[in-house]
Structures are given as structure tokens and as C-alpha cells.
Structure 1
């Protein structure tokens, strides 16, 4: 699954620089995650770094974007080939 940022986001700016895939950016009101770039840090880290640093626990799995670890690894490999 890719991750999403919920409206509990306090715009603390700690998640954006932690994303190795540049999937996080400022949206209209809160930070957003580009699901095409989010690999849950598969290929980079054992755990999603944005989730690790989020002080308000507002980054759950996106139930609309279910992906297996293998699919996330393929996405990671495609991103690294860019």
C-alpha cells in the first residue's frame, strides 16, 4: 500500500525531507503523498521514514492503494531507473 496523510497533519515539516522517493509535498492545506512515488520506503529502509518521524501519527496505509511488498519493490526499482 502507499501511505496517505490525514487531516490531522499539523504541517510540522518533518516528513517531507525524510522521504527518499520525494513522494511528499505540500498540498493546498496539508502535506500530501504521491501514491505513484510512495514505496513505503521499500528498497531504502525497513520502515516508512515519514511514519517514524510523524509526531501526530497521521500517516496510515491508504486502503484505496493496496500493494504487496513485491509490487512496492518493482515501483522502487522503476523509480531508481529514472
Structure 2
């Protein structure tokens, strides 16, 4: 999906289409977390950050350590 930045008062923003709002179950005035992945922006509801289970984080760390463990040990 391509979007153009629009002037909104003294700021700029994008309009999120209704199908995406419904898909993500966003409510009016929901707080969003905005980060970047080095190539673009990643936007998601802020409360998802709190709901992320520790098991998921551990699984991600295990995956990184398995793939890059030797290199990471050499960086110490």
C-alpha cells in the first residue's frame, strides 16, 4: 500500500484506511508505537508491546545465539 504524507495542522501524517483499522481492531485515539527497521517505519498498537510474552523473547534470543553465537562471543 502506498500513502502520501498530508499536512495536518502544523504536523504531517498519513490516513489509515478503514480495512486496516478493522483488521488491527484500532479504536479512536489509540496510542501507537512507531519504530523503524532501518528501511521504513513500523507502526503497531502500544499495548502489544506489553503483551509480548517472555517466551517469544527467549525464542528470539535463542535463534540469534544459534545463528551468530560464535561471532557474538568474539565481540566481547
TM-score category (smaller protein): under 0.3
Larger Rg, first or second structure (1 or 2): 2
TM-score of the superposition, structure 1-length normalised?
0.20
